[in-house]
A and B are shown apart, each in its own frame.
Chain A
Amino acid sequence: MGRDGGVTVLLAGDTSTNAMIIAHDVVPHRFARHRCAVQARPEQGNDVAQTHGLDLGWTKARTVAPQRRMGVGEAHAHHGELLQGVFYRDDGRRSRALVTLAFPSRGSRAVFRAGAGESGTVTVDGEGFAKVRRAAELTLRALPGAPAGGHVEITSDVPRGLGLGSSTSDVTATIRAVADCLGAAPTAEQVARLATLAEGACDSIMIEDRVVLFAHREGTVLETLGPRLPPMIVVGCDTDPGGAVDTLEHPPARYNDWEIGAFLVLRTVLRRAITAWDVPLLGKVATVSAQINQRFLPKPDLDFLLAVCREEGGCGVQVAHSGTVAGVIFDPSRRGAVDAVARCMRRIEDHGLPTTNVIGADLLPEGLDASVS
């Protein structure tokens, strides 16, 4: 999968916005096509889900259309997290959880063709699609009346290994495609639980209508923090050009008691920042989360990004806690935000880091084009 050094723009907090706002995307998207065939054993019904201790309840999934030979699903990428740590559930138990920063201008599209893999052989066009196959199989087994198997074809423009959620968008698109084929309309939570089952852990890109604190290993929502993120601009970059992180190979962070206490406070502050549309406050939370994560997956250039953020009047720095991307957060309502964002991008590129995206550039009154060119 080619790495994209181009500068793109997307809007945080509004997942309906797409690549139309990428006004200065200098490198055309390199879409990669992958195909894999899936053989499932539908006679097992919900067994797979049940052996994993999950009752997906998909027998209750709403059926909205008759079964077809083909289904299509889409899912967008993310740009790491605003917060990741260990948090308390209402029952007092603790769960690892995160708040995803959506990246709606990149994503995956899956096409599922029923019955195509009935020979029992699985062919994969390209490497690393075991999770997609697993997602398709699990979805087929979870749905009543599913066909024996099928083909999945993935089209994606999400760079791999940077923490942009490439595999999660593949997996989510696949689950949606299979469900679409069967005329089922699973809830976002049902998709989330299936995605974590297929992947082990994933961000909450499938929950698009609100901002959630998401237990990324369980696929459940700890709390809805608000309807959407405040309008903000995020200048994204890859902090380790050429390097890549295997999300699942990376050992889970072992937080100490002070950090777990701090997460209590950070969660509350983030809830407040989202409710009040307070981008500076949100930026502080993201920065602390990024700094805590330095003990586990250090970003060598975090200090540089924090300095740029401080000097250009940014609000904070967010990171992919199990990837290499990071972003400097700006408040678009602040005077001079256009120039600050442009200077920030230039400084990051001068430092030798490829910028990945500028999330939310259309929020700037004059747009970003003039100052970038």
Chain B
Amino acid sequence: MGTRAFYEDATEAYQLPRVVRLAPNLFAVCFTLMKMIPARYILRRALREGLLAPGTIIVETTSGTFGLALAMQAAQLDRRLILVSDPAIDDRLHRRLTDLGAVVERLAQQAAVGGYQAARLNRLAEIRRELPATFCPEQYSNPDNPRSYAVVAELLVEALGQVDCVVGPIGSGGSTGGTTTFLRSVSPDCRAIGVDTHFSVLFGHPDGQRGLRGLGNSLMPPSMDHRVFDSVHWCTAAEAYRATRHLHRRHALFMGPTSGASYLVGRWWAQKQPGALTVVLMPDEGYRYLDTVYDDEWLAAQGYGGTVLPDEPLTVSDPTRPGSRWTAYDWGKRSYTEVMAAARDDLVELP
């Protein structure tokens, strides 16, 4: 590839990360908007395959950055976009989305099972029935989501050569799973460490109230391949926020709280494995969180005071039980079913 003098468009400019050294063997992979990668890949493919004719309306359920990436694409492609979100969508993001021309439908009611996420999916199906021509990127079930991350693996290999471990926050499993899978094509021993939060169903916890947003899930994404992961960590909101601020103060990296959670885990792993090169995926920047994570008063009011980072996780042997602090579990590249069956057997053996 030749040196590019300029980007063809904003979505191309936003897609690739900066790779920043944090320690001799630890690198941050800093995205402005990581979800631009799957959004761009999926929409460009839809365009190529004729699924996105001028009258076709893009529809998706999201209250996060995937919606923003879609809205930027839709503005450039001159397509209409309807996003179904829950009330958790923050005001700044909402303003930005509507400025880009997206119609954002905020749901007030949760579903009985699956919370807002299930309610959003129900409403999405309803909208699609009402409209003549829609295209839904389906980030949680579309195999193009993990596949789109080949460009990240390519960039890491170009910048760093051998990568021994990828740490990333898990929402759909696409970024960490996809990046690691491509890196493993030449480095089969590359580790994948998933970062989740308590009361997320992704790695076995029961669904419940979660303080930390942007990672974790109330529903299991159909496309998620659990066999990619060597281990999984669950962080609390307080730990993630502290780590986010630590990352900013110590390294001047202004990132969001899912980046902070991953930094907490990556920093620990890199210290434990000085001979291995670890990268931490950092999906978005701090602007959206100026009034929360970056506001000491807000943190104190929420009971998230304190600045000391925990040194290490508590290793747990039961992946189904949520804790109240940073925990880690040796997933061992097994399928979800295998891990849950083993967890049940362990329970039976208890006196």
Partners in one complex: yes
0 or 1 for each of B321-341: is its CB under 8 Å from A? (1 = yes): 000000000000000000000
Interface size class, chain B: 10 to 19
Give the most central of B143, B144, B149, B158: most A CB within 10 Å. Answer: B158
On whether the beta carbons of A272 and B185 are closer than 8 Å, the reply is no
Q: How far is the CA of A140 from the CA of B185 in the complex (A)?
A: 46
Interface SS, B side = helix
> A261-B149, A261-B182, A265-B186 given. 7 additional CB < 8 A pairs?
A264-B151, A265-B157, A265-B185, A269-B186, A281-B161, A284-B186, A288-B185
Q: Is B132 on the interface with A (CB-CB < 8 A)? A: no
On whether the beta carbons of A264 and B2 are closer than 8 Å, the reply is no
Please give me the residue from chain A that is nearest to B187 by CB atom.
A284
On whether the beta carbons of B150 and A285 are closer than 8 Å, the reply is no
0 or 1 for each of A41-73: is its CB under 8 Å from B? (1 = yes): 000000000000000000000000000000000
On whether the beta carbons of A268 and B158 are closer than 8 Å, the reply is yes
On whether the beta carbons of B158 and A262 are closer than 8 Å, the reply is no
0 or 1 for each of B159-198: is its CB under 8 Å from A? (1 = yes): 0010000000000000000000111011100000000000
5 smallest CB-CB distances across A and B, nearest first, come from A261-B150, A262-B185, A264-B154, A264-B150, A268-B158
On whether the beta carbons of B186 and A223 are closer than 8 Å, the reply is no
Q: Is B1 on the interface with A (CB-CB < 8 A)? A: yes
Q: How far is the CA of A271 from the CA of B161 in the complex (A)?
A: 11
0 or 1 for each of B182-225: is its CB under 8 Å from A? (1 = yes): 11011100000000000000000000000000000000000000
Instruction: Say yes or no: A262-B1 contact (C-beta < 8 A), given A272-B157, A272-B161, A285-B186.
Output: no
Please give me the residue from chain B that is nearest to A258 by CB atom.
B147
On whether the beta carbons of A264 and B153 are closer than 8 Å, the reply is yes
Q: Is A366 on the interface with B (CB-CB < 8 A)? A: no
Q: Is A311 on the interface with B (CB-CB < 8 A)? A: no
Q: How far is the CA of A271 from the CA of B151 in the complex (A)?
A: 15
On whether the beta carbons of B2 and A269 are closer than 8 Å, the reply is no
Min CB distance, B210 to chain A, in Å?
Answer: 32
On whether the beta carbons of B1 and A269 are closer than 8 Å, the reply is no
Give the most central of B2, B149, B151, B154: most A CB within 10 Å. Answer: B154
Q: Is A90 on the interface with B (CB-CB < 8 A)? A: yes
Q: Which of A262, A267, A281 contacts B182 (CB 8 A)?
A: A262
Q: Is A82 on the interface with B (CB-CB < 8 A)? A: no
Contacting residues of chain A (23-43) with chain B, CB-CB under 8 angstroms: none
Q: Is A257 on the interface with B (CB-CB < 8 A)? A: yes
Q: Is A279 on the interface with B (CB-CB < 8 A)? A: no
Instruction: Say yes or no: A268-B147 contact (C-beta < 8 A), given A223-B1, A262-B185, A284-B186.
Output: no
Q: Is A191 on the interface with B (CB-CB < 8 A)? A: no
Q: How far is the CA of A367 from the CA of B154 in the complex (A)?
A: 38
Residues of A within 8 A of B149 (CB): 261
Contacting residues of chain A (279-322) with chain B, CB-CB under 8 angstroms: 281, 284-285, 288
0 or 1 for each of B121-157: is its CB under 8 Å from A? (1 = yes): 0000000000000000000000110010111011001
Q: Is A368 on the interface with B (CB-CB < 8 A)? A: no
Contacting residues of chain B (286-316) with chain A, CB-CB under 8 angstroms: none
Q: Is A235 on the interface with B (CB-CB < 8 A)? A: no
Q: Which of B144, B147, B153, B158 contacts A272 (CB 8 A)?
A: B158
Q: Which of A88, A260, A265, A281 contacts B183 (CB 8 A)?
A: A265
Contacting residues of chain A (243-276) with chain B, CB-CB under 8 angstroms: 257-258, 260-262, 264-269, 271-272
Please give me the residue from chain A that is nearest to B155 by CB atom.
A268
On whether the beta carbons of B186 and A261 are closer than 8 Å, the reply is no
Please give me the residue from chain A that is nearest to B144 by CB atom.
A257
Offer 17 A-B interface pairs, CB within 8 angstroms, sorted by A. Answer: A88-B1, A90-B1, A90-B2, A223-B1, A258-B147, A261-B149, A261-B150, A261-B182, A264-B151, A265-B186, A267-B154, A268-B157, A268-B158, A272-B157, A272-B161, A281-B186, A284-B187
Instruction: Say yes or no: A268-B154 contact (C-beta < 8 A), given A261-B147, A262-B185, A288-B186.
Output: yes
Please give me the residue from chain A that is nearest to B154 by CB atom.
A264
Residues of A within 8 A of B2 (CB): 90
Residues of B within 8 A of A262 (CB): 150, 182, 185
Q: How far is the CA of A281 from the CA of B147 in the complex (A)?
A: 23
Residues of A within 8 A of B153 (CB): 261, 264-265
Q: Which of B147, B151, B161, B185 contacts A266 (CB 8 A)?
A: B185
Q: How far is the CA of A267 from the CA of B157 in the complex (A)?
A: 10
Contacting residues of chain B (1-26) with chain A, CB-CB under 8 angstroms: 1-2
0 or 1 for each of B65-82: is its CB under 8 Å from A? (1 = yes): 000000000000000000
Residues of B within 8 A of A257 (CB): 143-144, 147
Give the most central of A90, A264, A271, A281: most B CB within 10 Å. Answer: A264
Residues of B within 8 A of A88 (CB): 1
Please give me the residue from chain A that is nearest to B4 by CB atom.
A90
On whether the beta carbons of A265 and B161 are closer than 8 Å, the reply is no
Instruction: Say yes or no: A269-B157 contact (C-beta < 8 A), given A262-B182, A262-B185.
Output: yes
Please give me the residue from chain B that is nearest to A272 by CB atom.
B161
Min CB distance, A291 to chain B, in Å?
Answer: 9
Q: How far is the CA of A257 from the CA of B48 in the complex (A)?
A: 14
Q: How far is the CA of A88 from the CA of B150 in the complex (A)?
A: 12
Q: How far is the CA of A258 from the CA of B183 in the complex (A)?
A: 12
Min CB distance, B299 to chain A, in Å?
Answer: 40
0 or 1 for each of A226-251: is its CB under 8 Å from B? (1 = yes): 00000000000000000000000000
Q: How far is the CA of A88 from the CA of B154 in the complex (A)?
A: 12
Residues of A within 8 A of B185 (CB): 262, 265-266, 288
Min CB distance, A195 to chain B, in Å?
Answer: 25
Residues of B within 8 A of A264 (CB): 150-151, 153-154, 182
